């Protein structure tokens, strides 16, 4: 996956606060956005933005961390493990039959058929597949798609463990997992529209050697945008308060509720250990995803607040070291919760608020009330001990280099050449045309979008509209025994369009008009299927998957790109009443591309296309008056062509 290096970080945007946490609220939020935002999301969704602002660990990587923590509990603090095990039946009754019989499955890697939900899976599903603790419980109890989702998660982790022949295949499996998650859970990408909350904020340069306590007070203070540390502290504090209330009143339901709320806290605690989330969230989406993906794959040298150095990786590239480091922090958080649950220690915070309906998927700032709760837990030594185990973010202005992916709207310029052979053809009387050839030079300008950094390399992530002008050479006969062809140099203008399709070419425009206004989720699903190659069960001949060819990529693009141009010429210079022109339809069949390069907001590369087409020849007859004219078809012929060129792109907007 190409990445462009950017050395200067830029600050991200700050959202707004919105109360409420029911599942439908997320859809309502998106539908009530301004027309400009909805249009942008619709276009990007339809063209496959598979992973929006990248989520953290994939689902079963979260599960591995949680099961590591429970395995440690069994040895390090059996009393805490026993307390959590004793509460599980109460919580399981609320969650329904989809919940596991045991608190935590023994195996770090699940078998394909293991689709029940334990506490580690609760943390994995929190925030990525639900926006509030209440929605999480309702999803596990009622969502018919949940077993399929967990099966897909198991397939992905097993494939990643097996390994791949190339880094590209590994990255494709990662991005394909996001795509499959969206096809199963149609709210997946909508929840991730604004998920800076999964990232850590940089340390501030203003404070010099900023201590852990100073850092936590700054990043979780009132009117600060929510981030990974603030989200963990808020949910953890509320879980401790619920545990204390349940313990004081002997209320098992409140105790079980505290475990449900703690699962959200654990999700954000685990996210802090993903390398792409330690580096931070800066700039537009192209930069956030590019930087996130680069450090997840290649890793980064990390020092925890407690002074431990290790090499961290991230989503889909999790190592045993990542599991051990994150698992130890999760264990410490669970131990504190268990101590409050069984009365071994008092809660460090007062009464809990209605945290079950708190919607973490909505862009928001820490409210003064949230800060009042977090401030209490920051005085708790055990919570600070948990945070001591987490990675120490980089200082603002001194973070590692940033990278950009090929995601955004661009102005596209092209130049190149074409060799064309006109083969079988007949005139209006049925007389065969002589096969002939010609060459041409072309320049063009257009607009488009690219989403290569958000999808798999096996998916078509390029769409554009493009106008061009062509200078064509004199035509020559391809039959040595025929008479010379008397067709002179010609000039032509035309347009070119490229977009994925589901069943028939251009059908995404139809879905945009008749599906998007009623269901963004359905339109997104159709766009994903189109970029994957459409509906192979209906059209088994479709072979759009991109494949690697050394430094190039290759792809069958039949039906995804079309060009139409008009060629002007005068044939009979001695008779001004007669002239002729032609229309040419080009259908590229196969395309090879170089891997794209970046410099600033500029990108581009080279390409070569093999294709077929049809040419229609017309004669224009003019009468004595200029308004009097008639046109008739002279004939038609098939053609094959090889088109070679380079395109440059200026990204004027990043999604």
- Mean pLDDT, the chain, rounded, equals 81
CB contact set of 208 (below 8 Å; sequence gap of 6+): none
Structure confidence at residue 180 as a pLDDT band (50, 70, 90): confident
In this predicted model, which residue has the larger pLDDT, 156 or 195? 156
Among 44-48, 416-420, 434-438, 558-562, the minimum mean pLDDT is found in 44-48
The DSSP H or E segment spanning 646 is: strand 629-653
Nearest CA among 68, 37, 594 for reference residue 320: 68
Q: Which pLDDT score is estimated for 275?
A: 95
Report residue 234 as tokens: 């808020």
**Whole-number percent of the chain with pLDDT over 70:** 76
Please, which residues bridge with residue 450 across strands?
Answer: 408, 462
How far lies 524's CA from each of 48, 84, 398, 560, 606, in Å? 7, 40, 38, 18, 30
CB 443 within 8 A of CB 473: no
CA atoms in the 13 A half-sphere facing the CB of 505: 14
Answer whether residue 310 shows pLDDT above 50: yes
The angle that helices 320-341 and 381-388 make with each other, rounded to 10 degrees, is: 170
DSSP-derived 3-state class of residue 23: helix
Q: Which pLDDT score is estimated for 35?
A: 35
Q: Report the distance separating Cα 635 and Cα 344, nearest Å.
A: 92
Per residue in 148-163, pLDDT (tens digit) is 999 999 999 988 888 7
How far lies 372's CA from each of 235, 238, 367, in Å? 13, 12, 9
Q: Which pLDDT score is estimated for 510?
A: 85
Answer whether residue 350 shows pLDDT above 90: no
Residue with tokens 């488009």: 448
In this predicted model, which residue has the larger pLDDT, 43 or 570? 570
Answer whether residue 96 shows pLDDT above 80: yes
Nearest CA among 335, 128, 341 for reference residue 250: 341
Answer whether residue 9 shows pLDDT above 70: no
Report residue 281 as tokens: 């969230």
**Whole-number percent of the chain with pLDDT over 90:** 48
Structure confidence at residue 1 as a pLDDT band (50, 70, 90): very low
Structure confidence at residue 26 as a pLDDT band (50, 70, 90): very low
Q: Which pLDDT score is estimated for 223?
A: 94
Report residue 223 as tokens: 């009117």
Q: Which pLDDT score is estimated for 537?
A: 47
CA 618 to chain centre: 48
Residues written for the chain? 655
Q: Which pLDDT score is estimated for 159?
A: 86
Q: What integer is the mean pLDDT of 392-412?
A: 82
Structure confidence at residue 560 as a pLDDT band (50, 70, 90): confident
In this predicted model, which residue has the larger pLDDT, 186 or 287? 186
Q: Which pLDDT score is estimated for 317?
A: 93
Provide the strand spans (E) within 541-601: 547-549, 552-556, 561-569, 578-594, 597-599
Q: What integer is the mean pLDDT of 543-565?
A: 79
CB 346 within 8 A of CB 379: no
Q: Report the distance separating Cα 145 and Cα 175, nearest Å.
A: 20
C-beta atoms surrounding 72 within 10 Å:
19
Answer whether residue 575 shows pLDDT above 50: no
């Amino acid at each position: 996956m190409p990445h462009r290096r950017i050395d200067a970080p830029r600050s991200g945007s700050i959202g707004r606060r919105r109360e409420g946490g029911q599942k439908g609220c997320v859809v309502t939020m998106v539908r009530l956005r301004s027309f400009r935002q909805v249009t942008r999301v619709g276009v990007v969704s339809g063209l496959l933005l598979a992973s929006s602002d990248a989520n953290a660990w994939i689902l079963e990587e979260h599960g591995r961390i949680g099961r590591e923590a429970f395995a440690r509990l069994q040895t390090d603090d059996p009393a805490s493990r026993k307390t959590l095990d004793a509460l599980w039946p109460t919580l399981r009754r609320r969650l329904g039959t989809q919940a596991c019989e045991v608190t935590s499955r023994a195996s770090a890697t699940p078998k394909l058929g293991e689709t029940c939900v334990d506490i580690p899976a609760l943390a994995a599903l929190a925030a990525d597949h639900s926006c509030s603790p209440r929605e999480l419980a309702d999803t596990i109890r009622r969502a018919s798609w949940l077993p399929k989702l967990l099966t897909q998660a198991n397939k992905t982790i097993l494939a990643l463990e097996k390994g791949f022949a190339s880094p590209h295949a590994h990255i494709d499996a990662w991005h394909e997992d996001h795509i499959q998650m969206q096809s199963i859970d149609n709210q997946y990408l909508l929840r991730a529209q604004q998920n800076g909350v999964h990232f850590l904020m940089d340390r501030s340069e203003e404070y010099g050697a900023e201590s852990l306590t100073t850092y936590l007070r700054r990043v979780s203070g009132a009117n600060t945008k929510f981030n990974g540390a603030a989200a963990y502290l808020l949910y953890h504090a509320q879980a401790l308060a619920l545990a204390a209330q349940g313990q004081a009143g002997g209320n098992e339901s409140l105790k079980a509720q505290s475990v449900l709320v703690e699962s959200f806290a654990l999700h954000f605690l685990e996210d802090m250990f993903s390398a792409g989330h330690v580096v931070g969230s800066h700039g537009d989406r192209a930069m956030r995803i590019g930087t996130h993906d680069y450090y997840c794959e290649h890793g980064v040298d990390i020092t925890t607040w407690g002074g431990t150095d290790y090499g961290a990786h991230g989503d889909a590239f999790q190592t045993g070291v990542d599991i051990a480091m994150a698992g130890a922090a999760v264990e410490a958080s669970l131990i504190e919760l268990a101590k409050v649950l069984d009365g071994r220690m008092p809660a460090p915070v007062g009464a809990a608020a209605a945290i079950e309906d708190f919607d973490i998927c909505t862009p928001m700032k820490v409210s003064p009330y949230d800060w009042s709760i977090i401030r209490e837990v920051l005085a708790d030594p055990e919570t600070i001990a948990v945070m001591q185990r987490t990675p120490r973010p980089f200082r603002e202005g001194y973070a590692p280099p940033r990278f950009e992916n090929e995601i955004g709207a661009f102005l596209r310029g092209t130049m190149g050449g074409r060799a064309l052979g006109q083969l079988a053809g007949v005139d209006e009387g049925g007389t065969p045309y002589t096969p002939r050839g010609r060459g041409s030079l072309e320049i063009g300008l257009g607009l488009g979008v690219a989403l290569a950094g958000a999808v798999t390399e096996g998916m078509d992530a390029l769409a554009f509209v493009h106008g061009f002008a062509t200078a064509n050479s004199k035509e020559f006969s391809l039959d040595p025994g025929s008479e010379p062809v008397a067709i002179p140099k010609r000039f032509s203008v035309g347009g070119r369009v490229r977009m994925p399709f589901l069943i028939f070419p251009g059908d995404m425009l139809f879905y945009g008009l008749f599906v998007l206004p009623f269901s963004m989720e359905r339109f997104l699903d159709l766009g994903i299927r189109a970029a994957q190659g459409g509906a192979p069960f209906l059209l088994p001949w479709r072979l759009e998957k991109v494949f690697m060819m050394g430094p190039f990529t290759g792809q069958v693009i039949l039906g995804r790109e079309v060009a139409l141009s008009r060629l002007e010429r005068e044939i009979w210079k001695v008779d001004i009443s007669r002239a002729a022109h032609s229309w040419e339809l080009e259908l590229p069949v196969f395309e090879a591309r170089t891997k794209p390069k970046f410099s600033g907001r500029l990108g581009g590369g080279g390409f070569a296309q093999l294709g077929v087409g049809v040419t229609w020849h017309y004669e224009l007859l003019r009468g004595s008056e200029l308004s009097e004219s008639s046109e008739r078809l002279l004939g038609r012929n098939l053609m094959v062509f090889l088109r070679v060129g380079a395109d440059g792109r200026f990204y004027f907007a990043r999604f």
